[in-house]
Amino acid sequence: MLKRRWFSILSFTLVFLLCFPAAAFGKGWDDPVKPGWGNGEKAKHGWIVSKMNHMTLEEKIGQLFIIHMYGQTPTDPDYEETNLNNNRGAKNFKKAIEKYHIGGVIYFNWTDNIGNPADVEQVNALSNGLQDIAMDQRMPIPLFISTDQEGGIVQRLTSPGTVFPGNMALGATRSTDLAADSAGIMGTELSSLGINMNFAPVADVNVNPENPVIGVRSFGEDPDLVSDMAVSQVQAYQNQKVVPTAKHFPGHGDTDVDSHYGLPVINHDLETLHNVDLKPFQAAIDAGIEAIMTAHIVVPALDDSGLPATLSKPILTDLLREEMGFNGLIVTDSLGMSGANVVEPERVPVEAFKAGNDILLNPPDVEQSYNAMLEAVESGEISEERVDESVYRILKAKMEKGLFGDPKTDPDAVENIGTDENLAKADEIANKSITMVKNENNLLPLQDNQDVLITGPSLGEPAYLADQLAGKGYNVSAYTTGTSPSQAQIDEATAQAQDADTVVVTTYTANTNPAQQQLVSALQSTGKPLVVSAIRNPYDLMKFPEVDGYLTTYGNRDVSVEALARVLSGDVNPQGKLPVTIPELYEYGHHLGY
């Protein structure tokens, strides 16, 4: 089958070579035929150029965009008004493909492309339907079908798929093999849904305890650890024919502002940038990463204009392309985020493209962004040669993933999702990630003859943890508070603690939440033995260092809470090592066991 496909491509190329002048192959870019290329590379190059020479400008501009649409099918009638009211530029996927010739789509839970839990047959059918429409156009070009499947707190496919603890949990295991296993499974499950591009792995080095947007999405604070983990995942995704995307260049790890809602500034000097922030991206480039996503962050040491990296030619073209040698796809982070919108809305995609991006991701107004790009080329502000550079890269990536041959996915492939073997691997990672930082007077594991109160904010999953321990025979009660507990909730938790032998508090980013800090302080004042389990960021201990016991899970997914219960009960001996420093308390690598 594969031989026949390549024979057809080679035959088409030979016919094309006889029919079109050689000069046509240099049109639109510096001729990318390289010395030493064999016949196969030349044939691929010629085939891509042939496509481009038959494309209209409108079709080329469309290839630059990956957009979101609402709906569960390509022509879902239930979402037509929603799409039009939300500036999708068309009433459904089919109309958007036909009108804008888009290069790809991105799936979200909130757009109802993927449910929670997912109907895997529906997602597979949606992907195949979209590819059918794309391949039925005047110029048949398959779509990038993309999503954010990092594992942990950012995971679009959850149940019945395999839910992993996330990157910082992987960092705590120190195992590149487990990192590769998780990416391989996520890649297999995404492919089974017809998703061929993943905006992962996260290559940011998290060095700021108050980082509100990265945190546990990072593998840790050590650039070598992050590099090794990211590279292992890049290769695993590629083995599953999924395009991985390292993010967020040039590094989002030292910020206390969320670029979804503001514009962060990274004040690292050049030495720190090269030794810390850029190091994992360079490692990914050296390992053959196919795509890199930009960050909406200002980095004065790299560009003193005040523009975010997404709009910065010095950062994307001069640094990433020329200095670091990246030849793959540069993808913007979502153009609807506040951090990108520092110029007039219609100028954002134009400036992002001029800076060096190839793919313009998720514009907030599809028609406005498409027309702005078209007008910029027609006016001469952007040359068609520059457009051709990006279109060439896009078509090349799609070709190398085999999408032109057959972009559709066998409906039976969904049987690969959420298998017992995959779920067991997620449990193994979670078990090996739980990190015990403090255990005064051997308070842990919990004794089964004690009355245990488990309390904390709902995001800390105290009720689920209590259910898990009750299933192991413990006498437990649970009291759930709000994310920022009210004084009445703090009083009630303190009152319930009076009847307990031991209190377990599940916190959720308490280091930046004064109300959670007050809850822990009030429970400390009861004099009861107190264990805190940080269910997201590991830094919470900074605010209450005197608690008797402290563990961290790096995420609140069920798989991590279940592993925490195994550690609290002593069924699992904690093995995780801190992948970050807890400032002034515990060093990177600290860990305890039973």
Res 5 pLDDT > 90:
no
Instruction: Reply yes or no on whether 177 is catalytic.
Output: no
pLDDT score, position 40: 76
Res 527 pLDDT > 60:
yes
How confident is the model over 114-137, as a mean pLDDT? 98
Question: pTM score > 0.95 for this model?
Answer: no
How confident is the model over 224-242, as a mean pLDDT? 97
Q: Which two tokens stand for residue 450?
A: 């004690």
Residue 513 near residue 484, CB atoms below 8 Å: yes
Select from 448, 501, 459, 465 the least CA-distant residue to 484: 459
- 160 contacts: CB under 8 Å, gap ≥ 6: 117, 118, 120, 417, 418
Catalytic residue among 119, 256, 258, 260: 260
Q: Where are the domains of the chain?
A: 41-421, 434-569
pLDDT score, position 261: 84
How confident is the model over 207-212, as a mean pLDDT? 91
Residue 22 main-chain phi, psi, to 5 deg = -60, -30
Catalytic residue among 148, 303, 333, 548: 333
Instruction: Reply yes or no on whether 260 is catalytic.
Output: yes
Which CATH topology does 434-569 take?
A: Rossmann fold (3.40.50)
- 127 contacts: CB under 8 Å, gap ≥ 6: 145, 193, 194, 195, 408, 409
Which residues lie across from 506 on neighbouring strands?
533
CA distance 499 to 557: 29
Burial class (CB within 10 angstroms; exposed 0-12, middle 13-18, buried 19+) of 56: exposed
Indicate the SS3 state at residue 502. Answer: strand
- 401 contacts: CB under 8 Å, gap ≥ 6: 196, 241, 243
pLDDT in tens, 423-435: 999 999 999 999 9
How confident is the model over 338-365, as a mean pLDDT? 96
Q: Which two tokens stand for residue 139?
A: 């110029």
Taking CA atoms, 295 is separated from 25, 173, 341, 427, in Å, by 34, 27, 12, 32
Residue 9 near residue 47, CB atoms below 8 Å: yes
Higher pLDDT, 210 or 142: 142
For the chain, how long is the longest CA-to-CA vector?
88
Res 226 pLDDT > 90:
yes
Confidence tier at 257 by pLDDT (50, 70, 90)? confident
How confident is the model over 75-85, as a mean pLDDT? 98
Indicate the SS3 state at residue 168. Answer: helix
pLDDT score, position 15: 39
Taking CA atoms, 482 is separated from 170, 359, 462, 506, 528, in Å, by 29, 40, 11, 12, 22
Residue 121 near residue 414, CB atoms below 8 Å: yes
pLDDT in tens, 20-70: 333 333 333 445 556 666 777 888 899 999 999 999 999 999 999 999 999
pLDDT in tens, 452-461: 999 999 999 9
DSSP assignment letter at 70 = -
Residue 524 near residue 547, CB atoms below 8 Å: yes
pLDDT score, position 28: 38
How confident is the model over 390-394, as a mean pLDDT? 98
Which residues lie across from 439 on neighbouring strands?
549
Which residues lie across from 361 on neighbouring strands?
66
How confident is the model over 462-481, as a mean pLDDT? 97
Alpha helices in 379-510 (DSSP H): 384-400, 420-433, 462-470, 487-497
pLDDT score, position 197: 98
CA distance 324 to 61: 27
Confidence tier at 161 by pLDDT (50, 70, 90)? very high
| CA 396-397-400 angle, 5° bins | 85
Please give the distance of CA 343 from its chain centroid, rounded to a whole number. Answer: 26
CATH code for the domain defined by 41-421: 3.20.20.300
pLDDT score, position 20: 37
In the block, tokens 């999708």 appear at: 88
Confidence tier at 165 by pLDDT (50, 70, 90)? very high
Per DSSP, which regions of 148-218 are E strands? 149-151, 154-155, 197-198
CA distance 578 to 552: 9
Write out the H or E segment, with its range, that includes residue 81. helix 80-85
Residue 566 near residue 572, CB atoms below 8 Å: yes
CA distance 306 to 340: 12
Alpha helices in 274-419 (DSSP H): 279-286, 313, 348-355, 366-378, 384-400
Residue 519 near residue 485, CB atoms below 8 Å: yes
Confidence tier at 413 by pLDDT (50, 70, 90)? very high
Which residues lie across from 202 on neighbouring strands?
247
